[in-house]
Structures are given as C-alpha cells and as structure tokens.
C-alpha cells in the first residue's frame, strides 16, 4: 500500500480539569445540527461527558470509528482511586450502547474535528472549554493510504449491518414509490 503524508489532528483530554459544565456537548450538537445552530441536543454531540458526581468523575470522550460488533472484553479501570465504568474510555459507536448513536436516525456519530462547512481552525469544543481540558494538536505523519469512506457510506454501512441489505433495499423501494 502506498505511503502518503497526512495531517493528523488529535485532541488530548486532561480529565482532571473537567468540571462537567457540558459546554462542549452544547456547541458540538449545535454546530452539527441541520440547519447549523438550529438546535441543541447533547445526545447528538460527538463529544460526550461521562459523569458520576458522587465519584467525582467527569470524563469527556470523543466519538471514534463505528464498529458493527460488540467487543469481548469489558474492563473496569481504577485511576487515582476513581473507578471508571466498563466502556468508559471507548470511543466507538457500537451496538452495545446508545452513546454516539444519532437518536432519531440510529446512525453512528463520529468526531470530524469541525472540518465541516465552514471549517474551524480548531474544533469548537476546544474553543469553548474554559478549563483547558481539551488540547488540540496537529502534526504531519507518513501513513499508509487507506480507503476513505465518506459519512454517507459509513451511515449506510451501519444500517446494512443493523437491518440487512434486503430490508434496506425494500425500504428504499417503498420510499421511492411514495415520493
């Protein structure tokens, strides 16, 4: 496979500084609403803050790749005396839970670093976080060229995995007759 230079963008999370204000969820869901900024719904946010007030846990997690299968291992992590739930650090949209699944369509959500139109210099969650929890980093790396599925393909693939190809084709056929 050919190697290409690619800009790698990451957001480092300093969870100890997070106070659970959830401004990051608000701005993310508003920026990705259709039309833009027309609604706020943290369930549609691509960053979600896992909170356990009694355990003093505030953990911002970004939506990563969609996976059609549940993983086998479920671990509990204890860090600095705080116990984090199984799946707590996992970024995947997967069938085992509702996190990072768009509530109306059931499509997986994925952080796009706010590169959508108009592209932002830094992801908006980084810009609104007043506690410097989210640290944006950009570097150039040589990586293997990979097949890049666009958002529509990823969404359709997840629907095929969930409902099966034939059911989707039937649904599209019925919709086109109505339309």
Site membership for ligand SF4, residue 30 (CB under 6 A): no
Site membership for ligand SF4, residue 133 (CB under 6 A): yes
| CA within 13 Å, CB half, 20 | 10
Q: Among 90, 134, 155, 158, which residue sits at the site for ligand SF4 (rule: CB under 6 A)?
A: 134
State how far the Cα of 85 lies from the Cα of 111, in Å rounded to an integer: 22
Q: Residue 81 gets which letter from DSSP? A: T
**Shortest Cβ distance from residue 162 to ligand SF4 (Å)?**
30
CA angle 170, 156, 176 (to 5 degrees): 35
Site membership for ligand SF4, residue 114 (CB under 6 A): no
Spell out, one character per residue from 4 to 23, where the chain touches ligand SF4: x when CB under 6 A holds, - when not. --------------xxxxxx
**Shortest Cβ distance from residue 117 to ligand SF4 (Å)?**
23
Site membership for ligand SF4, residue 50 (CB under 6 A): no
Is residue 124 within 8 A of residue 116, CB to CB? The reply is no
Q: Among 48, 109, 129, 155, which residue sits at the site for ligand SF4 (rule: CB under 6 A)?
A: 129
**Shortest Cβ distance from residue 26 to ligand SF4 (Å)?**
8
Q: What is the DSSP string of 85-145?
A: PTTTT---B-TT-STTB-TTT-PBP---TT-SSSPPSS-HHHHH-TT--EEEEEEEEEEE-
**Residues that bind ligand SF4 in the complex, under the rule CB under 6 A:** 18-24, 49, 58, 60, 128-129, 131, 133-134
């Amino acid at each position: 496979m050919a190697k290409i230079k690619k800009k790698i963008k990451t957001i480092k999370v300093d969870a100890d500084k997070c106070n659970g204000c959830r401004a990051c969820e608000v701005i993310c869901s508003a920026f990705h609403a259709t039309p833009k900024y027309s609604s706020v719904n943290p369930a549609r946010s691509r960053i979600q803050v896992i909170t356990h007030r009694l355990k003093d846990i505030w953990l911002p997690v970004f939506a990563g790749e969609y996976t059609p299968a549940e993983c086998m291992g479920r671990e509990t992590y204890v860090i600095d005396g705080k116990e984090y739930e199984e799946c707590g650090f996992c970024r995947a949209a997967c069938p085992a839970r509702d996190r990072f699944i768009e509530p109306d369509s059931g499509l997986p959500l994925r952080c796009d670093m706010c590169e959508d139109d108009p592209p932002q210099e830094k992801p908006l969650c980084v810009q609104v976080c007043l506690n410097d929890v989210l640290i944006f980093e950009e570097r150039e790396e040589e990586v293997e060229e990979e097949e890049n599925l666009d958002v529509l393909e990823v969404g359709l693939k997840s629907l095929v995995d969930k409902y099966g190809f034939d059911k989707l084709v039937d649904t599209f056929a019925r919709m086109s007759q109505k339309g």
